[in-house]
Amino acid sequence: GQNIDQPTEMTATEGAIVQINCTYQTSGFNGLFWYQQHAGEAPTFLSYNVLDGLEEKGRFSSFLSRSKGYSYLLLKELQMKDSASYLCAVRVPMGGGSQGNLIFGKGTKLSVKP
| Shortest spacing between CB 100 and other proteins, in angstroms | 8
| Shortest spacing between CB 61 and other proteins, in angstroms | 17
85: nearest Cα among 35, 49, 14: 35
| Shortest spacing between CB 89 and other proteins, in angstroms | 8
**Pairing mode, strands 32-37 and 44-49:** antiparallel
Which residues have C-beta within 8 Å of that of residue 104, sequence separation ≥ 6?
4, 87, 88, 89
Kindly tell me which of 69 and 105 has the beta carbon lying closer to other proteins.
Answer: 105
Binding site for other proteins (CB under 8 A): 4, 33, 35, 40-45, 48, 87, 89, 94-99, 101-107
Kindly tell me which of 78 and 89 has the beta carbon lying closer to other proteins.
Answer: 89
86: nearest Cα among 101, 73, 70: 73
